[in-house]
Amino acid sequence: MAQAHGDRLSAVDASFLAQERANSHMHIGAVLILEGPPPTYEDFLNHIRSRLHLVPRYRQKLAVPPLETGRPIWIDDASFNLEYHVRHTALPSPGSQEQLRALAARIHSQRLDRAKPLWELWLVQGLEDGRFALISKTHHALVDGISGVDLMTVMFDLSPVPQAAPHEGEPWTAQPEPNPVQLAARGVKGLARLPLELANGALAAATHPGASLDQVKEALEGIGEVAWAGLNPAPETPLNVPIGPHRRLSFVRNDLDDFKLVKNTLGGTVNDVVLTVVAGGLRTWLRSRGVRTEGLELRALVPVSVRTKDDKGQLGNRIVVMRGPLPVYVEDPVARLRVVRHAMDGLKESKQAVGAAAISGLEALAPPTILAQASRLQFSTRLFNLLVTNVPGPQFPIYILGRELLDTYPVAFLPENQSLAVAIMSYNGGMDFGLLGDYDNLPDIEDLGQALKDALAELVQAAGGKPRGRRKKASAV
Amino acid sequence: MAQAHGDRLSAVDASFLAQERANSHMHIGAVLILEGPPPTYEDFLNHIRSRLHLVPRYRQKLAVPPLETGRPIWIDDASFNLEYHVRHTALPSPGSQEQLRALAARIHSQRLDRAKPLWELWLVQGLEDGRFALISKTHHALVDGISGVDLMTVMFDLSPVPQAAPHEGEPWTAQPEPNPVQLAARGVKGLARLPLELANGALAAATHPGASLDQVKEALEGIGEVAWAGLNPAPETPLNVPIGPHRRLSFVRNDLDDFKLVKNTLGGTVNDVVLTVVAGGLRTWLRSRGVRTEGLELRALVPVSVRTKDDKGQLGNRIVVMRGPLPVYVEDPVARLRVVRHAMDGLKESKQAVGAAAISGLEALAPPTILAQASRLQFSTRLFNLLVTNVPGPQFPIYILGRELLDTYPVAFLPENQSLAVAIMSYNGGMDFGLLGDYDNLPDIEDLGQALKDALAELVQAAGGKPRGRRKKASAV
């Protein structure tokens, strides 16, 4: 869809701005590891500059109409400065993954400046083995509304030989900023035909901005099911306590084939295996904290993208909320997978089936915006203990300036009173976990990462395989 | 003075918290350049840990009593985590000063987290020529109240051989956090004997927390003079416009002997020469912006530390505010110095003389807390165009873990509607300028830095000298 000067934020996008708190940031991103040698800052800037016209939203900022009812609109940022958004930094020696995680966590601990286009992209030199990294950070309100064409998509090539982008080199000129009267008029325009205003504080499904009313209704029915489930509140855990603004990250690097082996041998979907691994890891971690796990089942919020026809007959992404069961009370990994499958089968008979069906084919999907799915939801710790989001990426190598992308660790966000979010992204045979934790509540996030790794290894072994970690150009974790 | 658990913030320190805005941060710091090789993060952490007991305030956080009248108190941070405050990072290659400035500017663009002790110290690897840097960032409310013993002081040694600090190695235990009732009681305690409550929004002099009432009165008379001057408001300039949260830095490295040559040949004090250089640089910069300088005199706020006996007969620092004339209308550098001297002589006949007298002996003073002087003031653009602060440092080399400190660039702060602050620090024969600018308003801050350099060179030439830049282990700027 177009990303035009003067677009008004959808109700959902506006809600991401409204929901943001000092300690609960609404930006998401990823840590990408690429083969070296790192490009120079100038080359990288020029590359981004050459693709920026494909994603106009990245040169737009928020303008707030002077009326309470007026939701913000996107306007061109006349003083747009690419050097502000694209930043160059380096790791201290030896350039370990631990140092990279510390850097990325610091970057994600700081809110984006709302007076500027809502994104940053950091070029990171000095990673060990001659590699380099990119750390992205983009506000929900930006990535959500553009539905499929974001900077992360357009900056990559499908081949090692950099390609010229269509219309590359055409000069960009900012549209003039609206004056206060124009801004006021723009703020109220369209309010009458607003398809769905979300009740404040209620659990809400968000829909594709272009979705038809039918689709909205269908999504709401699915959500109703989840809301019902919420009448049994999620259990209290050390995860669900007030959080601060600071973050920690842990990365777990896995091979997608390990998940497929488990699925093919023991049954279920890739997503069932993911939930089983997360439940197993949380079990170990909770017990290391002295928390009793007898009878304890945590509840994950799992945003799911389903492909539907929109009213123009085009394929579009639509998001439904799924409740992901995390039976941490089950010690045996095979039994734990069985419980997850059973719970998921039960959910399939409800409206949540839409999501479950979509999940089974997850690896075939390629929604281009990392984690955009997660951005269309509101959260409540009464309903969910943590966010677990599984984002399928391309299953072939992609390149930037001729350098191959090796690993992608997605970074989600923490709603208030949630100390952990698990984001997973598959890419080119890998299945990488990015764990985002509150800095003070999760000093032991590395233990949790290791516990997830162990939980997968147990399942692989139970399936008769040998846990291999990730092969091919593996970057040690 | 002691820095005890349970100390209540002075009215002034509390006002720094109250004054802080999203775009106007109240932290200060410095960028320090040291000879290599850089220490490891572990060695550096251990070094800081070994000195931390000398500055208890650095392990204390704010606690806010539950009463409107209750000013915050300092309490031990039981979850103090040194790795949070001391951070390790690196510059991308080639490790230029420009890259160092970009890093330091980003660090200073972010507010400190008020839930933790109010400081950060960054160890920066990868500076060119095998050097490394330290970037400090400390909240005014912390540095101001401790009057002389801060981390920057205690972490340095007077000799290349690291010394054991007194009482090193004694274990630290946090005092328990006060409960709400204790906190409420602590909040009102001492309110009755409060020596001076500062009128909100009024220009205020701040005094040494331990100052006697006589000293307070004397300082207020000096301030009264400045307030009178304020009836003629400072001129409007491109510097005095709304600012954003982001910053730029420019460094100018000078030799103290150049300032002394000018002073000895052409008359005046070192501070007169500083103001003449700043005026000359601003003249060039304003004209490059197309601003007419005919008849234009800007006004600098110059905080001055004077040594006085306190009521116990000990020497203490006391701060007075001086109005620094910046006659940008004068093209000829010698004539400009004359105008500055004349204006300063006029000020000497007023109560501001105290400050002027102190300035002439500035280089002999060694107040240990960088920029702490500047922190005791409130600001108004009606009265001042910018902050110019001149902090004398030691005139002999100091060391950290055996590495010599080479250069010190102080970083001041920007009050609302002030886009530039100039901080100067003398150290071991150097006289380094740190220019802090608003990111969007001062994209040409490097031009301003160069203009300051040129303005000094003109004066040195007029004094019959040859501008030499800085000698001895010079790091190129």
The answer to whether B247 and B423 have CB atoms below 8 angstroms apart is no
The answer to whether B32 and B134 have CB atoms below 8 angstroms apart is yes
Would you say residue A200 lies in a domain? no
- pLDDT tens-digit profile of B44-61? 999 999 999 988 899 999
The answer to whether A239 and A386 have CB atoms below 8 angstroms apart is yes
Would you say residue A442 lies in a domain? yes
Residue B309 phi, psi (nearest 5): -80, 135
Q: CA-CA distances (angstroms) from residue B232 to A183, B228, B297, B432?
A: 38, 8, 12, 32
pLDDT of residue A149: 61
Based on the fold, state whether residues A48 and A157 are members of the same structural domain. Answer: yes
Confidence of residue A321 (pLDDT cuts 50, 70, 90): low
Share of chain B above pLDDT 70, in %: 71
Is B115 in contact with A244 (Cβ distance < 8 A)? yes
pLDDT of residue A369: 37
- For chain A, the straight-line distance linking the first and the last C-alpha, in angstroms and rounded, comes to 38
Q: Please tell me which of A244-258, A310-324, A352-366 the model is most confident about, judged by mean pLDDT.
A: A244-258
B440 and chain A: CB distance < 8 Å anywhere? yes
- Return residues 40-69 of A near B (CB < 8 Å): 41
**Lowest model confidence (mean pLDDT) among A390-394, A397-401, B165-169:** B165-169
The stretches of B349-442 forming alpha helices (DSSP H) are: 353-360
Which tokens in the block code for residue B413? 């702060």
pLDDT of residue A55: 87
CATH for A52: 3.30.559.10
Would you say residue A64 lies in a domain? yes
Confidence of residue B440 (pLDDT cuts 50, 70, 90): very high
Based on the fold, state whether residues B124 and B247 are members of the same structural domain. Answer: no
A91 and chain B: CB distance < 8 Å anywhere? yes
The stretches of A317-444 forming alpha helices (DSSP H) are: 333-348, 353-360
Identify which has the larger pLDDT, B244 or B368.
B244
Q: How many CB atoms lie within 10 A of CB B429?
A: 14
Based on the fold, state whether residues B313 and B451 are members of the same structural domain. Answer: yes
pLDDT of residue B303: 73
Q: How many CB atoms lie within 10 A of CB B220?
A: 17
Please give the full DSSP string across A349-373, using - where no structure is assigned: TSTTHHHHHHHHTGGG---SSTTGG
Cα dihedral sign, A32-A33-A34-A39: positive
B110 and chain A: CB distance < 8 Å anywhere? yes
For residue B89, list its beta bridge partners.
B124
Question: A89: distance to nearest CA of chain B, Å?
Answer: 5
Based on the fold, state whether residues B389 and B281 are members of the same structural domain. Answer: yes
Is B126 in contact with A92 (Cβ distance < 8 A)? yes
Q: CA-CA distances (angstroms) from residue B426 to A11, B256, B409?
A: 55, 7, 9
Tokens 């920007």 found at: B414
pLDDT of residue B199: 25
Based on the fold, state whether residues A144 and A256 are members of the same structural domain. Answer: no
How many beta-carbon contacts under 8 Å exist across A and B?
57
Based on the fold, state whether residues A142 and A237 are members of the same structural domain. Answer: no
Q: Of B64, B17, B24, B51, whose CA–CA distance to B121 is shortest?
A: B51
Share of chain B above pLDDT 90, in %: 49
Which tokens in the block code for residue A241? 């306590």
- The answer, yes or no, to whether residue B465 has pLDDT greater than 60, is yes
Q: Which of A140, A167, A208, A342 is catalytic?
A: A140
- The answer, yes or no, to whether residue A151 has pLDDT greater than 80, is yes
Would you say residue B372 lies in a domain? yes
Based on the fold, state whether residues A35 and A82 are members of the same structural domain. Answer: yes
pLDDT of residue B113: 92
The answer to whether B309 and B210 have CB atoms below 8 angstroms apart is no
The stretches of B163-314 forming alpha helices (DSSP H) are: 180-188, 213-229, 256-266, 270-288
pLDDT of residue B252: 96
Q: CA-CA distances (angstroms) from residue B273 to B257, B263, B270, B278?
A: 12, 7, 5, 9
CATH for B221: 3.30.559.30
Confidence of residue B186 (pLDDT cuts 50, 70, 90): low
pLDDT of residue B158: 86
Q: CA-CA distances (angstroms) from residue A387 to A233, A317, A436, B244, B397?
A: 15, 20, 10, 34, 54
The answer to whether B449 and B252 have CB atoms below 8 angstroms apart is yes
Identify which has the larger pLDDT, B301 or B320.
B301
A80 and chain B: CB distance < 8 Å anywhere? no
Based on the fold, state whether residues A25 and A61 are members of the same structural domain. Answer: yes
Based on the fold, state whether residues A145 and A279 are members of the same structural domain. Answer: no
pLDDT of residue B469: 59
Question: B278: distance to nearest CA of chain A, Å?
Answer: 28
- The answer, yes or no, to whether residue B313 has pLDDT greater than 60, is no
CA distance A304 to A322: 7
pLDDT of residue A166: 74
pLDDT of residue B48: 95
Residue B24 corresponds to which amino acid? S
Would you say residue A234 lies in a domain? yes
Based on the fold, state whether residues A154 and A28 are members of the same structural domain. Answer: yes
Q: How many CB atoms lie within 10 A of CB B29?
A: 30
Residue A69 phi, psi (nearest 5): -80, -10
Would you say residue A20 lies in a domain? yes
Would you say residue B317 lies in a domain? yes
Mutant choice from B84, B113, B128 vs A, greatest count of A C-beta within 10 A: B113
In A, which residues are within 8 Å of B125 by CB distance?
Answer: 92-93
Domain limits at B86? Answer: 11-188
Which tokens in the block code for residue B205? 């002099």
Based on the fold, state whether residues B224 and B174 are members of the same structural domain. Answer: no
- pLDDT tens-digit profile of B102-125? 999 999 999 999 999 999 999 999
In B, which residues are within 8 Å of A106 by CB distance?
Answer: 87
- The answer, yes or no, to whether residue A445 has pLDDT greater than 60, is yes
Q: Please tell me which of A127-141, A216-230, A380-394 the model is most confident about, judged by mean pLDDT.
A: A127-141
Is A440 in contact with B79 (Cβ distance < 8 A)? yes
Would you say residue A402 lies in a domain? no
Which tokens in the block code for residue A130? 């001659």
Q: Of A301, A296, A271, whose CA–CA distance to A285 is shortest?
A: A296
In B, which residues are within 8 Å of A441 by CB distance?
Answer: none
- The answer, yes or no, to whether residue B365 has pLDDT greater than 90, is no
Complex-level ipTM beyond the 0.85 threshold: no
Number of domains in chain A: 2
Nearest-by-Cβ selection for B110 from A87, A103, A110:
A110
- pLDDT tens-digit profile of B382-398? 678 999 988 778 889 99
* Rg, Å, chain A Cα set: 22
pLDDT of residue A113: 92
Please give the full DSSP string across A178-194, using - where no structure is assigned: PPHHHHHHHHHTTSTT-
Q: Which of B140, B167, B208, B246 is catalytic?
A: B140
Based on the fold, state whether residues A121 and A247 are members of the same structural domain. Answer: no
pLDDT of residue B162: 78
Q: How many CB atoms lie within 10 A of CB A467?
A: 16
